[in-house]
Amino acid sequence: MDRLGRLAQLIGLSTIPLAGVFWRSWSDATALAFYWCETALVVVFVAFRLILHRRRTKKRGHYVEQKTSTDGGPAKKGTTTYNAAFLTTAAGFSFGNLVFLLALLGLFNDRVGGGEVDLQAVGQGMLVACAFVLVAFAIDIPRIEERPFAWARMTAEAALRRVFIIYAAIFIGVFCAVIFDLPRALFAVFFGLRLLTDITSNFKQYDPDEPPRWMRRFVKDWPRYETEWRTEKTARLAREAADEDPYRGIPSPPPNVASIRS
């Protein structure tokens, strides 16, 4: 039920701009502005979940090793939180894709069919989005202390995928619009990729016990690759198991954004 509820929330969020474009005559620029604001809203409420889960469970995975250096001096080890790392990554990439989106719309607005941003329409859409997000948040909170850290990590990774996919949507959409003269391609690509990301994030990620045999044809030194693959997976599983332990002053290694499984 939890997974179905979350899937319903994400699909509901994705259909708001679709309804706006086809039933309320939103411009594509208005829909894209809504997408960006809605993603920021989801990130904020994921951060609230991480805060509550950390305070109620004290799982080790919430406490992350951090190295800092002052004036080029030797690096000093400290401790930050998984939530801080999540928010830093999400905020940085969100700001970046906003800059890209504004720049590309400024350059190719007529050719991609962007139009003007209707701030009133964005605000109305965000009220509906807030309702979806608040209901999902209210469902998660009562028993959040019973959930493992793996659930918190999965929730954060799903939110980051929604941030990252905007880059792909921008470049693919603008390319199709400009090269193939498809004015509504930008919105169509945004909607399709976002919906696909939301649906797939609710299913168990592909994580076989052994390296896929079909990869043999692409790997020259298969025995070495197989050994490294098993070593990496064993280390990852050991870390994930350790993240579920109570925090006793030893933080987890810093998370690697590139290791998020797609």
pLDDT of residue 115: 78
pLDDT in tens, 211-261: 888 888 888 888 898 999 899 999 999 999 999 999 999 898 876 543 444
Is the pLDDT score of 152 beyond 90? yes
Write the burial class of residue 162 (CB in 10 Å: 0-12 exposed, 13-18 middle, 19+ buried): buried
| Cα distance between residue 51 and residue 46, in whole Å | 9
- pTM equals 0.86
Of 154, 176, 173, 155, residue with least CA distance to 165: 173
| Cα distance between residue 230 and residue 32, in whole Å | 42
Is the pLDDT score of 39 beyond 70? yes
User: At a CB cut-off of 8 Å and minimum separation 6, what does 69 contact?
Assistant: 75, 76
Q: What is the mean pLDDT of the chain?
A: 85
- Provide the residue type at 106 as one letter: G
pLDDT in tens, 98-132: 888 787 777 777 666 677 889 999 999 999 999 99
Domain boundaries, the chain: 2-67+76-254
- Both ends of the chain: CA-CA distance in Å? 23
pLDDT of residue 150: 94
pLDDT of residue 208: 84
Is the pLDDT score of 61 beyond 90? yes
Read off the pLDDT band of 71 (50, 70, 90).
Answer: low
| Cα distance between residue 94 and residue 100, in whole Å | 10
Read off the pLDDT band of 209 (50, 70, 90).
Answer: confident
